[in-house]
Amino acid sequence: MKDIRSELLRYRDAKCHIWNTYFHDLVENLNDDEPLYSFEIIEKRLFSALICHPLGLTFNFDRGFGLDSVRTIIVKPKPNLIEIPAMLADASGLNRLWRKAENLLASGLSLAFMDFFQWDNYDYLSLPFVKCEVMDCKERPDYQGNEALVETHLVDFVFVGDNA
C-alpha cells in the first residue's frame, strides 16, 4: 500500500487550474463540442501523466473518464474519524439522484476512486468531493457497488496495485 494523496491532489489542482484559467470563459453553449471535447482529452492525459504513469497503472479511458472506478486506488476515511458523511447515488443510466448525506462508520468502509466531483462542472472548479464506488460497507452491505460522494478533506488515498 502506498499513500498517494499528494499525487491525486496534484492532479485535482492541475485539472482545476487548467479549466479555470483557460477553458471556463470559452464555454458559451453546452451543446457545442468545443472547448468541452478538448478539455476531456486534456483531463484524461493529466490523469494518465500524473497518476497512471508514475504508478504503472493501466486505465481504459474508452468508456469515459469517471464512469468506472479505479479499484487499485482506495479512498479511505482519515484515521481519526469514527464516521464519515456520504451521499449515495440512485443510478438510472448515466443520471444520478444523490441522496441526502448519511453518516457511515469509518471502520469497515472501503471505497474505490472514480474522480473528483462538484455539482456544476462548467463553473469555476474546486472539486470538493470524491466520487467513489462502495467496495465494502460492513454497516450496510447492501451499499456495495453504489456510487458515493465524500468530502475530499475527510479522506486519504492509497494505491494497492502491484507497484505499491
What are the domain boundaries of the chain?
2-159
**Which pTM does this prediction carry?**
0.91
Among 84, 152, 85, 145, residue whose Cα is nearest residue 116: 152
User: What single letter denotes the amino acid at residue 112?
Assistant: A
Q: Locate the DSSP E strands across the chain.
A: 2-3, 70-77, 83-92, 95-98, 102-105, 109-117, 129-137, 147-151, 155-159
Query: C-alpha 153: how far from its chain's center?
Result: 13
Please report, in tens digits, the pLDDT of each residue of the chain (164 residues total): 899 999 999 999 999 999 999 999 998 887 888 899 999 999 999 999 999 999 998 877 666 666 688 899 999 999 999 999 999 998 766 778 899 999 999 999 999 999 999 999 889 999 999 999 999 999 999 999 999 999 999 999 999 977 65
Secondary structure (DSSP) of 21-65: IIIGGG-S-TTS-TTHHHHHHHHHHHHIIIIIHHHT-----TT-T
Bridge partners, residue 77, by sequence: 155
